[in-house]
Amino acid sequence: MPTDDIMQKVSARYAKAAATGEQMCCPTSYDMGHLKTFIPEEVLKISYGCGTPAGLKTVRAGETVLDIGSGGGIDCFEASRLVGPGGRVIGIDMTDTMLEIARKNAVVVSKNLGYPASNVEFRKGLADAIPVNDGTIDLIISNCVINLAPDKRKVFREMSRVIKHGGRFTISDIVSDQTVPQYLVHDTQKWGDCLSGALTLTGYMNGLTAAGFLGLHLVNFSPWRIIDGIHFFSVTLTGYKLLQTATAAASVRYATLCGPFSRVMDERGTTYQRGLPQLIAADDVALLSQSPFAEHFILTPNPVELNESDPRRTAVFPAQSPCTWQGHYALLAGPFMEAADDDHHIYRRGEPLEICSKTVAVLETQGYQSHFVILNRAADRVRGEAVACVPNGGCC
């Protein structure tokens, strides 16, 4: 299907939804009680998304925030409140009906917030040709929109172009656990439903890394729909465009992985073994100082080795009992490209790995849970018998 046809049909679908009040099918969890205190009902009733990127403590006072695919303006208006009157918010959208509603209500929102003037501007534009100058944005947010762009790698490059060094993004989108087949790709209805254009989690995160973003990690995850055995789910991801110089890291030379992973590899290809100090460069310090790396590493000027009795060293071992296979698959969603646990599993970013009941329990513990998407592919209730682990200790 030609790119122009896709964009025209998607835009028409959302314009119709705005006019008719059609509810678009995406998992969203806005706090409507809070938003109603300053955002008009006209905006709230046409708000579509698969997450709440502006409401996740990602917006800071005084920042310049860009919302890709701003629609009726709900996320822009929440960002407006959070940046304060000294900050600035830019929303871009391709649908005239949405832009008209957003612009009209910007004045109302600013008055409700007690601002002397609106700090929100809405521009017409596409996600793959963002009408914003280079290096001017502190934070990019987007809510179930990049999925609709036919050329997502171009969108990611545009994001990298407009964001400042030291800036970051927090975006919510629909991805899949398998490549979407052509019969769905060419289904116009499912493009508007955020299905046909879905990348796999691997493809989505690799596209962001290729555009220059690092430290990609999962913020939220929510299952959505299963079509012909393909799992579609919502993820909210954060990543960074790091500063070109890391002056604050001058005294740090070593990083020691605390756990619970036994081994990890970062996006630059550096491997860290739990408890063993690794010589690192200043750029690595800048990366490992970001959330959520900081909770897994000790950064020091001199090498620090963590023995098994050191309280800073963490590990989670599976229960010493038989396990069952219940249809679960784990997908590592950052911040590492590859990671290993203490039961011989090797997880690669975005790639589904079948896991047993004992491994599910391990990955649901603190230190692991926030980094994984866990799906169940079993169509029916599984009644398999418990099985013993293999002699070397690996159950999967």
Helix, strand or coil, per DSSP, at residue 165: strand
CA angle centred on 13, ends 8 and 17, rounded to 5°: 145
As a dihedral over the C-alpha atoms of residue 75, residue 76, residue 82, residue 84, rounded to 10 degrees, the angle is -170
The residues with which 227 forms a beta bridge, in sequence order, are: 230
Helix, strand or coil, per DSSP, at residue 284: helix
Task: Please answer whether residues 299 and 376 qualify as being in contact, where contact means their C-beta atoms are separated by less than 8 angstroms.
Answer: no
Q: What CATH class does 247-300 carry? A: alpha beta
Tell me how far apart the terminal alpha carbons of the chain are, to the nearest angstrom. Answer: 41
Q: What is the pLDDT of residue 64?
A: 98
| Distance between CA atoms of residues 194 and 173, nearest Å | 8
Task: Please answer whether residues 64 and 136 qualify as being in contact, where contact means their C-beta atoms are separated by less than 8 angstroms.
Answer: yes
Helix, strand or coil, per DSSP, at residue 108: helix
Q: Could you tell me the strand order of the sheet in which 277-279 lies?
A: 277-279, 254-257, 297-300
The contacts of residue 33 (CB under 8 Å, 6+ apart) are none
Fold agreement (3-241, 319-396): no
Handedness of CA 232, 127, 55, 45 (dihedral sign): negative
Q: What is the pLDDT of residue 18?
A: 46
Q: What are the DSSP calls for 230-272, one per residue?
A: EEEEEEEEEEEE--S--GGGTT--EEEE-SSSSEEE-TTS-EE
Domains of the chain, residue spans:
3-241, 247-300, 319-396
Q: Could you tell me the strand order of the sheet in which 271-273 lies?
A: 271-273, 263-265, 338-340, 346-348
The contacts of residue 2 (CB under 8 Å, 6+ apart) are none
pLDDT per residue as tens digits for the range 191-220: 667 788 899 999 999 999 999 999 999 999
Nearest residue to 50 via CA among 187, 274, 204: 204
The architecture that CATH gives domain 3-241 is 3-Layer(aba) Sandwich (3.40)
| Ordered mean pLDDT values, 10 residues apiece, the chain (396 residues) | 53 49 60 94 88 85 97 96 97 95 97 97 97 98 92 97 97 95 81 80 97 96 92 95 68 94 96 97 90 94 96 96 93 97 96 96 96 92 69 50
Domain range 319-396, its CATH number among 1.20.210.10, 3.40.50.10420, 3.40.5.100, 3.10.310.40: 3.40.5.100
